Amino acid sequence: MRILKGKSVVEMTDLNEVLEGFESVIVDIGTGNGRFVYKHAQSNKNNFYIGVDPAAENMMEYASKIIKKPKKGGLNNALYVICGAEELPEEIYSKADKIYINLPWGSLLEGVVKGNDVILENIVKVAKSSQASLEIWFTYNNLHEAGEMSRRELPALSVEYIKDTLVPIYNASGIEINDIEIVTNEELKEFDTQWSKRLGFGRAREVYRIKAVIRK
């Protein structure tokens, strides 16, 4: 499994040893720059946070922070893994008590909103048990992302689309969606990622949040 140690890419073979003693493991798929992982790991020292993203360079800032001395912001409960959602490493299988996918883009967004089999199967593989939870935030619209919608043939978003189309697809993969919400700009600001803050201070738009339980 390829991880970042500061700005260097190294191989990790024994994740189990690293996770020993922590109450919960939280995996953030498509972590982007890794801010979400870093901030939550700072506030919840009993939990271990794993950020996953194929773009190593985007995670280097926060990967460099976690290896500093504790008094300078270093953390022992965070890790950044280099890979895409389509090919998650076996080392993180059956590890996550909770999984986040926060405002994804590109192929990950397409996989989430179309219910791509490979991505959904990988989410289930990462889940630790039948009580593991999943939370996904996503948004796009014709006003701001018309080009991406056309290129990827993305469906128009609505609560009805999620209920009628995604719920059955997710259920068939072992993911039981039990809550669908439209998030306000104020909630986006408080979520504390670079992209959520940018959206939160922009024009109001419909951001969807689904919460689910993974049945293994």
Compute how many other C-beta atoms are within 10 angstroms of the C-beta atom of residue 21: 8
Distance from C-alpha of 192 to C-alpha of 150, rounded to nearest angstrom: 29
Q: Binning pLDDT at 50, 70 and 90, where does residue 145 land?
A: confident
pLDDT computed for residue 216 by the predictor? 77
Compute how many other C-beta atoms are within 10 angstroms of the C-beta atom of residue 135: 14
pLDDT computed for residue 11 by the predictor? 96
Q: What is the mean pLDDT of the chain?
A: 91
Fold assignment, 1-12+21-92: Rossmann fold (3.40.50)
Nearest residue to 126 (alpha-carbon basis) of 78, 92, 79 = 92
Distance from C-alpha of 51 to C-alpha of 100, rounded to nearest angstrom: 10
Tally helices (H) and strands (E) across the chain. Answer: 10, 9
pLDDT for 183-212, tens place per residue?
876 776 666 666 555 554 456 568 899 999
pTM of the model: 0.91
Domain ranges (residues) in the chain: 1-12+21-92, 103-216
Compute how many other C-beta atoms are within 10 angstroms of the C-beta atom of residue 121: 15
Same fold, 1-12+21-92 and 103-216: yes
The residue to which tokens 């104020």 are assigned: 186
Mean pLDDT of 85-99: 96
Give CATH superfamily name and number for 103-216: Vaccinia Virus protein VP39 (3.40.50.150)
145 neighbors 199 (Cβ within 8 angstroms): no
153 neighbors 188 (Cβ within 8 angstroms): no
Nearest residue to 132 (alpha-carbon basis) of 213, 14, 51, 56 = 213
Q: Are strands 8-11 and 24-29 parallel, antiparallel or unpaired?
A: unpaired
Helix 106-114 and helix 117-126, axial crossing angle in degrees, nearest 10: 90
Quote the strand ranges of the chain, DSSP E.
Answer: 2-5, 8-11, 24-29, 47-53, 78-82, 98-102, 133-138, 175-183, 207-214
